[in-house]
A = this chain, B = another copy of it.
Amino acid sequence: MIKASIIGATGYVGIELIRILAGHPAVTLVHLVSQSFEGQKIGEAYPHLAARCETLEGMNFEKIGGDSDVIFTALPHGASAETIQKLAPYGKKIIDLSADFRYDDVATYEAWYKVKHPAPELMRQAVYGLPELHRAEIQKCQIVGNPGCYTTCSILGLAPAVQKGFIDPDSIIIDAKSGVTGAGRKPSTDLHFSEVNESFKAYGVGTHRHTSEIEQEISKLAGKPVVLSFSPHLIPIQRGILATIYAKLTGEIAHGDFVRLYQEFYKDEPFVQIEEKGLPQIKYVRGTNLCRIGFVVDPRTNRVVIVSVIDNLVKGAAGQAVENMNLLFGLPETAGLDNSPWYL
């Protein structure tokens, strides 16, 4: 059994990791670290986990670095890199769910996150953990920078079309909508039930940090720097992201061309499903590590509309982290992640 520890176990990403790993056939949890609930049983922080016996621990680098085969870090950016700097020397695999190890270029990170990166040398060794694009490098690395939720949904929706030149990269507009769990558990007026329920809003339009992460990967696929529009919105639901992506076609490209291109591009991918007709809904992927992608080609405007959906807590966070762990340890990529969608 692979011994896994979670640092930041009581945030929403942390408990989603616990949920998924509890059902993983090859993993055992050894340390759950939580600053906020140190010394308490996990069931005191989250009563739905009352049947579990773990005590939440404070940070002890030696113990965690020594006892674990893999360490998941689910901390705020900055804090994550500082922690990993101290953990890395123990030589264990690390999967980081913050933004700290997602960038090829320290300057981009520092410009968008407005902090100095505490461990730029480690960042350079880390691999961007989107298996559909970087599987081979992930398998060989020590530190995985697990992608953002909006990012995963957007990149998977765009990658084949950008790489193949079906769309003009300068015309890309991503209108993304997310459930509320993406904002974490910390209470605030903005996330109060009575403020969020029965409303809908845009936020971080043009400035959301995931923009830079999407641009990094899309630029590589396009073979040139791409600047795009990204607008996130908040849906009053628990889980799920739907990205509606607009782009100009570069030629006479039909719906069937998109379907075939994407089916081919993702043909060996266990977690990407292409709609032959129709568009995917968030419901189709709730509780799973799946990404589903559909298309509308609009000859009136010469644009394609690509709709991509994921579960933000699974493929957008904890599930993809487990997928990366599976890759790091040579397990079947779907281990612990092969459940049916919840739908209801």
Contacts A49-B340, A283-B48, A301-B228 given; indicate if A187 touches B191 (C-beta within 8 A).
yes
Q: Is A229 an interface residue (CB 8 A)?
A: yes
Number of copies of this kind of chain in the complex = 4
Per-residue B-contact encoding for A223-238, CB less than 8 Å = 1, 0 else = 0000111010101111
User: B194 to A282, Cβ gap below 8 A?
Assistant: no
11 residue pairs bridging A and B, Cβ less than 8 Å apart: A19-B341, A47-B278, A47-B284, A48-B343, A173-B246, A177-B233, A193-B236, A197-B238, A199-B286, A201-B280, A231-B244
> Is A90 located at the chain interface by the 8 A CB criterion?
no
- Beyond A199-B281, A284-B47, whether A344 also contacts B229 by CB under 8 A is no
Do A199 and B339 have beta carbons less than 8 Å apart?
no
Is the C-beta of A53 less than 8 angstroms from some C-beta in chain B? Answer: no
Q: Which of A49, A183, A188, A281 has the most CB of B within 10 A?
A: A281
Report yes or no: A281 in contact with B344, Cβ–Cβ below 8 A: no
Interface centre among A188, A198, A296 (most CB of B within 10 A): A198
Tell me which residues across on chain B come within 8 A of A307, comparing CB atoms: 202, 205
Q: Which of A245-286 contact B (CB under 8 A)?
A: 246, 273, 275, 278-286
**Could you say which interface size class chain A belongs to?**
35 or more
CA distance A229 to B171 in the complex (A): 13
Q: Is the CB of A194 within 8 A of B12?
A: yes
| Contact assessment for A180 and B199 in the assembled complex, using a CB-CB cutoff below 8 Å | no
Contact: A206 with B296, CB < 8 Å?
Answer: yes
Measured CA separation A199–B307 after assembly (Å): 14
CB distance from A82 to the nearest CB of B (A): 26
State whether B342 touches A237 (Cβ < 8 A). no
- In the complex, A22 has a CB within 8 A of chain B: yes
Tell me if A15 counts as interface (CB < 8 A to partner B). yes
